[in-house]
Structure 1
Amino acid sequence: MNKALHDDHDAHTGRRAYLRDWRKSMSDNVALALLVYTGLQIFVTVHAMKQGMSSIAPYLFLVALVVGIIPFCRKFEHRWTRLSDEAAHDPALSGAFRRDQIALWALAIVTPLALTAFFRLIFG
């Protein structure tokens, strides 16, 4: 298993430098984003759906929503897990990592809130 921080010796200062492992960091972000997404779906979206659906339908829909988001999260993770060991610690990738991180978290947070707004409009 990869470590999020890589121990490396800095020849200029004689100190150890810690380089971020983009693969591990994105995997951690994906796992946490899935937890947040699922929590928001359970406590926000399902509550809005329960007002207009039968008792079991919101929970079946919840399962479909969670299963449906996994391929999108996997796409973010796969882009980073296939990096070589050298590229996984390249500081030049920080901008691309941040872009994907923001997109991942926007997907995880905005999707449940948008679905909740949609169901509240439908079921009033």
Structure 2
Amino acid sequence: MSRAHAKFRHVLNEQEVMRFLEKYGFTCLHFEDITVAEQAQIFSSAKVVIAPHGSALTNLVFCQPDTKVIELFSPRWLRHTYWNISHKCHLDYYYVIGNHAENYVTSQNSLAWISESLKDDILVDIKKLAEVLRLAGIR
């Protein structure tokens, strides 16, 4: 799932990630162009969902039990929201914490830090992603 058209939390190396995932048969989707009914159908039929942390993952509620979920995070914005949904829906949840990108700004103000952190882009380490795919039994 791509966040290329989102305002923030982009995967900085999305093209590299997609080239890597294509070897496993994955297809990149842009959910901004898909109706809610189509999103529900896609998630309902998915065997594996790999996506950056974002609101489109609320569609996990439509997944079948044992669907594998791999959530991509930036190092400063880790949330348990979709792990919780995955747990309640009996999904097989994994995550990858990306590397620090050069565009990170650190504020002394805690409210500013939260605002900055939730917008951090994600730099996916392909080796970490490969290891999580292996752990999830995706070949």
With the length of structure 1 as denominator, give the TM-score of the two structures.
Answer: 0.32
Which protein is richer in strand relative to its size? 2
Q: Give the number of the structure whose alpha-carbon radius of gyration is greater.
A: 1
- Tell which has more relative contact order, 1 or 2 (C-alpha 8 A, sep 6+): 1
With the length of structure 2 as denominator, give the TM-score of the two structures.
Answer: 0.29
